[in-house]
Amino acid sequence: MNRRATLMSYFQAMHLALGDSGWWPAKTPFAVMLGAVLTQNTSWKGVAKAMANLEAEDLLDPAALRDLPVARLEELIRPAGYFRLKAKRLGNLLDYLDQACAFDLAALKARDMAELRQELLGVSGIGPETADSILLYALGQPSFVIDAYTRRILSRHGLVPADEPYEDLRDFFMDALDHDPALFNEFHALLVRVGHHFCKPGKPLCAICPLDSFPH
DNA sequence: CACCAGGCAAGTA
DNA sequence: TACTTGCATGGT
């Protein structure tokens, strides 16, 4: 079985078991970018609280956030953890968005993906996973997102080495699959959901994991 | 109590 | 280039 067929069979198994994930479909692109930074090495629960704090003050908007004192931003995002660090990183992102498109985020959707990805990676605080999350979930561009669960699940199934570098893992998906944003979106979401529920660090895969019937 | 969560950058050798 | 460490709150 070729890699495309293998990956699609994983996708089908996960989707059949868990259904649609509905990740980041309804919010604005900017809100998605905020979430992508705030969720770095952090569970979504605290991020949701931080986002609610911002929304309650109508701050899910780049210009509004730019005018907010840093100390106030730190206070509002505190539940997401690393609050001083993340306040800086959001400031860096705002500086970039102002310079790159004058906060016209819709304009970024038309940009060349590879070029835009390189620019995002140039922002301090935006690494490969955050950049790909922004491209895919905020801008609808077909950039596959790799996270700790994706690496863990694929390596435990013997599809890649455990220490496979981020870019190689991303190529593993992108060389095999059609560059369909909807597919990339749902595929990554399902991998995270499966990892979260069934694939804890150090523990063996669980018998009710939808991927348990695959070789590992 | 220990450990982890949808990472990243800076420092060290 | 390849490790190590700091960042911080909240849940299990």
What CATH number is given to the structural domain containing A115?
1.10.340.30
CA of A79 to C1' of C8 (A): 9
Query: A138, A167, A198: which is the final residue of a domain?
Result: A138
The answer to whether the beta carbon of residue A40 comes closer than 7 angstroms to any atom of strand B is yes
The number of residues making up chain A comes to 216
> In this structure, what is the dihedral angle of CA atoms A109, A94, A38, A51, given to the nearest 10 degrees?
-90
Please name the nucleotide lying closest to A74, CA to C1': C8
The answer to whether the beta carbon of residue A147 comes closer than 7 angstroms to any atom of strand B is yes
Query: A138, A155, A179: which is the final residue of a domain?
Result: A138
pLDDT value of residue A202:
66
Name, in order, each residue with C-beta under 8 angstroms of A107's C-beta and a sequence gap of 6 or more.
Answer: A101
> Has residue A213 been placed in a domain?
no
Q: Rg (Cα) of chain A, in Å, rounded?
A: 18
pTM reported for the whole predicted model? 0.95
pLDDT beneath 50: ranges in chain A = none
Domain that holds residue A118: 29-138
Same structural domain, A65 and A106: yes
Residue at shortest CA–C1' distance from B9? A125
Same structural domain, A134 and A178: no
Same structural domain, A103 and A172: no
Query: A138, A168, A191: which is the final residue of a domain?
Result: A138
CB atoms within 10 A of CB A162: 9
> Has residue A214 been placed in a domain?
no
Q: Is the dihedral of CA A189, A183, A109, A169 positive or negative?
A: positive
Same structural domain, A44 and A110: yes
**Which A residues 30-89 have CB within 7 Å of strand C?**
41-43, 45-46, 78-79, 81-86
pLDDT value of residue A206:
67
Please name the nucleotide lying closest to A88, CA to C1': C7
Q: Could you tell me if A103 and A140 are in contact, meaning their C-beta atoms sit under 8 angstroms apart?
A: no
CB atoms within 10 A of CB A106: 10
pLDDT value of residue A142:
98
> Has residue A33 been placed in a domain?
yes
CA of A161 to C1' of C2 (A): 17
A192: which 2 tokens?
């995270």
CATH number of the domain to which A18 belongs: 1.10.1670.10
Count up the domains in chain A and report the number: 2
